[in-house]
Amino acid sequence: MASDLSTPPTLSPRLQQFQAEVDQLKVTGGRANPERAGRILGAILMAVGLILGIYAYFGLSHPTTNPLQQGDATVVGLLGVGFTVVGTGLFVVFSLTRYFRYWLVRLIYEQRDQTDRLRGSA
Amino acid sequence: MTTPLLELRGIRAGYGTIDVLHGVDLVLEAGQVYALLGPNGAGKTTTLAVCTGQILPSAGQLLLNGREVNGTTSDALARAGLCLVPEGRGVFPNLTVTENLRMSTYAGMEFATVQERAFGQFPQLAARRKQLAGTLSGGEQQMLSMSRALAANPALLLLDELSMGLAPLIVEQLYERVAELARDGVSILIVEQFAQAILRVSTTASIMLRGRIVRTGPPAEIAEELAAAYLGASTHSLPA
């Protein structure tokens, strides 16, 4: 069954139509694992919050007896705690989402596999 | 040099946390019949799933006619003219042949046109139009699956393991049809585990191993290297 397919045909009307339709496609630029960005943001917030807390105590509050500066340090420290709490929440939520996505994919795969085996044995 | 009809650049993709494709590069020019060969588990079907928008790549670019289309939905790509004939005969077994064909009118095509095209391509389906698809022979189911895709008048046809579970004679007939489609100007990407029939109709072939394309070239050259690749030769020992 020899075939002479080595020479590409000229741009057919169908290909021109295909080009036009591709140009009109709505492209979202989607990526797999959309949770990744959330997990990274959560981890960064956790780290930033921790650093702010330590800095507020050792860098701002501890070296001074000025109550005004210590008040500022308290605000910065609370901000750090807030960042850490929010960051931890984001990290946990997106990690769980990722895990459950994987679990669901695995479940679907196993169900399909089981169906194929049943069909094969019938 | 013309813009490739389909191009994958450094595609990484997988299922959940498991990556299956580790940087796939593939170029399909208009009018080509591209054979993607590789052993079971190499990532061939996953590559097709990325091409049809069923799996989002975690990295890399999917380009159609030079335009990046990452994230485009499968139905939008199908409407544009990128059709997949899936592995394992993608028919509805509890529907008749006619009802299966009716399912492919989603793109707004007239049912009469769909029937005419399907029965024109595969006359034996016309005699079985009222039969349940699940009771057809393997070859006829594959023909029905192909005719559904062809009814949408595809510009780019992706075929996944067309020969799976079929007698060599039927496989030969199906690939005759594939060659005719290519002559009519349809560009085709075929994924296969067994290369005998496919290499005779293809214009370019690649070997895929462990989620990477390790060799691309003329089918005759690829045929010679295939045995070594399948029998576990190191990917580094194959010429680039």
Decide if B179 touches A, using CB distance below 8 A.
yes
Across the interface, do B70 and A27 touch by the CB < 8 Å criterion? yes
Interface ipTM: 0.74
pLDDT at A98: 83
User: B237 pLDDT exceeds 60?
Assistant: no
A24-81 pLDDT, tens digit per residue, is 887 776 666 678 888 999 999 999 999 999 999 999 999 999 999 999 999 999 999 9
pLDDT band for B87, please (50, 70, 90 cuts).
Answer: confident
> B32: nearest CA in chain A?
A8
Chain B environment of A12 (Cβ under 8 Å) = 185
Q: C-alpha angle B137/B97/B176, rounded to 5°?
A: 55
Across the interface, do B156 and A18 touch by the CB < 8 Å criterion? yes
Q: Taking all residues of chain B, what is their mean pLDDT, rounded to a whole number?
A: 85
Chain B environment of A9 (Cβ under 8 Å) = 30-31, 185
Across the interface, do B29 and A3 touch by the CB < 8 Å criterion? no
User: B201 pLDDT exceeds 90?
Assistant: no
Q: Which of B153, B173, B23 lies closest to A15, judged by CA?
A: B153
User: A2 pLDDT exceeds 50?
Assistant: no
Is residue B46 within 8 Å of residue B13, measured between CB atoms? yes
Across the interface, do B13 and A105 touch by the CB < 8 Å criterion? no
Find residues 80-109 of chain A whose CB sits inside 8 Å of chain B: 98, 101-103, 105-106, 109
DSSP letter for each residue of A82-115: HHHHHHHHHHHHHHHHHHHHHHHHHHHHHHHHHH
Across the interface, do A102 and B71 touch by the CB < 8 Å criterion? no
Neighbours of A29 (CB within 10 A): 11
Q: What type of residue is B121?
A: Q
Find residues 12-71 of chain A whose CB sits inside 8 Å of chain B: 12, 14-15, 17-19, 21-23, 25-33
What is the rounded distance in angstroms from the CA atom of residue B201 to the CA atom of residue A92? 52
Relative to beta strand B82-85, strand B156-160 is: parallel
B178-193 pLDDT, tens digit per residue, is 888 888 888 999 998 7
Tell me the whole-structure pTM to 2 decimals. 0.71
When CB atoms are compared, the residue of B58, B172, B182 closest to A33 is B58
Is residue B116 within 8 Å of residue B108, measured between CB atoms? no
B12-59 pLDDT, tens digit per residue, is 988 877 889 999 999 998 888 999 998 888 899 999 999 999 888 888
pLDDT band for B109, please (50, 70, 90 cuts).
Answer: confident
Across the interface, do A1 and B56 touch by the CB < 8 Å criterion? no
